């Protein structure tokens, strides 16, 4: 039968209070001498292990810079100089984190990591993201960094060597704003692209930097998704929107697992309590400026519940089939151990484009 499942999906169109999850965890896979305790959790520069080499210390410091705030923490998983990523991947699948970067990843290794992230998100419900160099993965879980020649006045960095910085920046971005035009004050220069080149890169799902002559900024906070579908529209290209969706997924899933699964009879009244808790969570996200006010709803998934009742040959006590039942009867019907819910939410985007014709 497998583990009890909670399937929470997001489409372009559509007893315990749910608590907002703490987000903003960056994981780095580093090549170094493997410490006795692995991985190591780092909250500030004071936690940097003396045993780490200078390159890895620099990478952690870059990640800790964040944006509006620093990341909640850095999880540094260390592998040997010749080790593959399998052991690290197996471990990371068992813990909680948001963004991954691998500073010394080689070009031939990026798609292996990208496919792993896709699998975690699409088949296992583990909503994590990776910041990878020059990886056109065409997926919302992969941020494809093609920015290059980042110069801080002393050193020049490649895309791979600056992915940790971007991972920390996204982890430190509140869900009420986007990282579009976020400045990187430590940089004095980067590879210069024309407006047309930047537009083309962004359309191609590339994370690029923009030098406005005074500051170095993220051109637009997009992931690598290029190919849209009915279920994944243009909103899924935005790092901000995907981060909000991931938080909502994780919060509802964790609360259901901790407080509902196996703990209540599957009655209509208890389903309504779960619905009420989720609706209250949506209402709070509206107050927090993450969801658009008055446009978020959750309830019994009538279509899915109807299909399920038909599949088991459900009949009312007086012998009527599903085709003869009213909608409220379908909502209140016994669905054994299954709960079918449906939700419609509208996540607020950030202001990124201003159209202001001025007539003189």
pLDDT at 94: 97
Structure tokens at 167: 């991972």
Do 84 and 69 contact (CB within 8 A), yes or no? no
Do 218 and 209 contact (CB within 8 A), yes or no? yes
Provide the whole-model pTM. 0.93
pLDDT at 14: 46
Strands 142-145 and 206-207 turn out to be parallel
Per-residue pLDDT tens listing for the chain (360 residues)? 677 777 787 666 546 667 766 689 999 999 999 999 999 999 999 999 999 999 999 999 999 999 999 999 999 999 999 999 999 999 999 999 999 999 999 999 999 999 999 999 999 999 999 999 999 999 999 999 999 999 999 999 999 999 999 999 999 999 999 999 999 999 999 999 999 999 999 999 999 999 999 999 999 999 999 999 999 999 999 999 999 999 999 999 998 998 899 999 999 999 999 999 999 999 999 999 999 999 999 999 999 999 999 999 999 999 999 999 999 999 999 999 999 999 999 999 987 777 878 888
Question: Across the strands, what pairs with 26?
Answer: 74, 99
HEC-encoded secondary structure of the chain: CCCCCCCCCCCCCCCCCCCCCCCCEEEEEEECCCCCCCCEEECCHHHCCCCCCHHHHHHHHHHHCCCCCCCCEEEEEEECCCCCCHHHHHHHCCCCCCEEECCCCCHHHHHHHHHHHHHHHHHCCCCCEEEEECCCCCCCCEEEECCCCEECCCCEECHHHHHHHHHHHHHCCCCCCCCCCCECCCCCECCCCCHHHHHHHHHCCEECEEECCCCEEECCCECCCCCCCCCCCHHHHEHHHHHHHHHHHHHHHHHHHHHCCCCCCCCHHHHHHHHHHHHHHHHHHHHCCCECCCCCEEEECHHHHHHHHHHCCCECCCCCEHHHCCHHHHHHCCCCCCCCEEEECCECCCCCCCCCCCCC
Do 163 and 132 contact (CB within 8 A), yes or no? yes
Measured distance CA(128)–CA(96) in Å, rounded = 9
Gap between the terminal Cα atoms of the chain: 70
Domains of the chain, CATH where assigned: 25-239 (3.30.1370.220)
Tell the burial category of 194 from Cβ atoms under 10 Å away from its Cβ (0-12, 13-18, 19+).
Answer: exposed
pLDDT at 142: 98
């Amino acid at each position: 039968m497998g583990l009890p499942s909670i399937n929470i999906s997001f489409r372009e169109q559509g007893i315990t209070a749910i608590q907002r999850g703490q987000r903003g965890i960056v994981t780095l896979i580093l090549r170094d001498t493997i410490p006795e305790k692995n991985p190591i959790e780092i909250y500030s520069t004071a936690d940097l292990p003396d045993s780490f080499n200078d390159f890895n210390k620099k990478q952690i410091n870059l990640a800790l810079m964040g944006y509006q705030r620093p990341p909640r923490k850095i999880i540094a998983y260390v592998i040997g100089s010749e080790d593959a990523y399998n052991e690290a991947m197996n471990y990371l699948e068992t813990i909680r984190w948001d963004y991954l970067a691998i500073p010394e990843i080689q070009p031939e290794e990026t798609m292996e990591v990208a496919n792993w992230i896709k699998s975690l998100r699409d088949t296992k419900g583990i909503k994590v993201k990776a910041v990878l160099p020059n990886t056109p993965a065409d997926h919302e879980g992969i941020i494809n960094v093609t920015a290059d020649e980042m110069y801080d006045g002393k050193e020049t960095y490649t895309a791979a060597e600056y992915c940790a910085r971007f991972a920390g920046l996204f982890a430190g971005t509140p869900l009420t704003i986007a990282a579009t035009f976020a400045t990187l004050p430590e940089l004095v220069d980067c590879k210069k692209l024309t407006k047309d080149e930047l537009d083309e890169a962004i359309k191609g799902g590339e994370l690029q930097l923009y030098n406005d002559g005074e500051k170095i900024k993220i051109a637009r906070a997009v992931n690598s998704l290029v190919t849209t579908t009915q279920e994944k529209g243009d909103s899924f290209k935005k790092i901000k929107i995907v981060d909000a969706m991931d938080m909502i997924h994780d919060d509802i899933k964790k609360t259901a697992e901790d407080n509902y699964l196996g703990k209540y009879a599957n009655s209509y009244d208890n389903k309504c309590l779960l619905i009420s808790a989720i609706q209250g969570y949506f209402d709070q996200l509206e107050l927090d400026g993450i969801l658009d006010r008055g446009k978020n709803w959750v309830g019994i998934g009538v279509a899915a519940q109807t299909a399920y009742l038909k599949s088991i040959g459900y009949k009312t006590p007086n012998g009527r089939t599903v085709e003869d039942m009213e909608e409220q009867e379908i909502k209140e019907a016994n669905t054994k151990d299954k709960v079918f819910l449906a939700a419609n939410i509208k996540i607020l985007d950030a202001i990124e484009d201003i159209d202001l014709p001025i007539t003189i």
